[in-house]
Chains A and B, each alone.
Chain A
Amino acid sequence: MKKLLATLLFGFMFLGLAAQKSDLPNITLKNLDGESVNIAEINNDGKPFVMTFWATWCGPCVKEHNALTEVYDDWVEETGVKIFSVSIDDARSTAKIKPFVDGKGWPFEILLDVNKDLARAMNVSNPPHTFLFNGEGKIVWQHTGYLDGGEEDLYEEILKISK
């Protein structure tokens, strides 16, 4: 039995070799239009992108999103960066996210991580948790928590890797 397991494990690892691309796991989440999005396929045409985890009940997260909303147009114009925003709200809020996000006027691509599958895979313990990916989908910087003005540091990191 143990031998069989070991063989299977080894086999899986070998199969795994074929597919490794970015730091993003092979997990499928829904977006606000109810469409499935395979996280492993997320990219920004070779430009850097940001992935930030939040929840409606998390005050600092909402502050961070409001702050990012204000600077987003400028950031996109200057660096071409894109922000993916992952809500870890559970089923109590699933139906509320779209009206909440639209009502606040947030321009980001929203993904729903209803049972925290992606958060677990990316070792997110507490929101907000923000990741910066380079054009190849590798994590180059991450930060937990949000303090007023924290977006400035994220932007400095974005500028470092955008050409």
Chain B
Amino acid sequence: MIEAQLSRSVARWCEGATGVTGAAKLSGGASQETWRFDIVHPDGPIGAILRRSPKGYGAAPTRAAGLGAEAQLMQLAYEAGVPSPRVMHVLTAVDDLGTGFIMQRVEGETIARKILRDDEFAAVRPHLARQIGGVLAGLHRLPLDKLPELRRMTAAKEIAEFERDYRSLNWPKPVFELALRWLRDNDPGPSAEETLVHGDFRNGNLIIGADGVRAVLDWELAHLGDPMEDLGWVCVNSWRFGEIDKPVGGFGSREELFAGYAAAGRKVDPARVKFWEVMGTLRWGIMCGGMMQRFREGPDHSMERAMIGRRASETEIDLLRLLAPRGS
């Protein structure tokens, strides 16, 4: 079992550790798993998380930065004061656990609907949009010369990739065609400034506590590009979970997000943010189509995946609200 391998591993790099308990798989597809466990230590248990690709699943999907890069980015973020778990250990062959890393477990909530509804977060909710601006500013300031090797993306490259994905679905959608045209016609060109872009920064990928953002998760889509991409993606309606008048994750306004970003010393380009919000809405819609395709072709023939295919129309109405709003 995995606990035996984890126990041998922690004994090597965590001083005083005598073993592990409570290993439980939190999520996992065929190629990537997340486990929680506690390190047994004389000073008290240490909460930990394992992110790994099991043996035989070394190759990352084309768009993912890879677990090695993810570990480096999280550690860099942690050192720079961006809310992030501390990386405790990067797996090596000796660990016999595949590839990946072990990080400190951060307590808090990631389920967006709970963060938006539960009383526990009522006091902090009004501050989150601004706080997220500050977190993104810190993330976009991570030093380029310390980053791992990452894909370099521009709007034009992303549009081309989405178009290829969409056409491969053979799923004619006039609203998506309209959005693709709009994106091409309104592409602001390469950003004057290229920074680290998280790539999936949104409500659902943040650990939130009563005190606010405690950690930014899921760095696997990190790349180099236009920092405004992250500001646009966090505003996509799909991540507002019903709170449609609060664009920033259902928490607050764009103005608050922008103010937090500016207060941390970085400049916002609202036109670019809007462009990336349209791009992000289309991106999620095409991803819904991808889920439908995976459902049809197996291996994941689940009802949940099938139903996500029927959520593409949510992004169509949101694209129309952005591109062809009806009189108010």
Is this pair of chains taken from one and the same complex? no
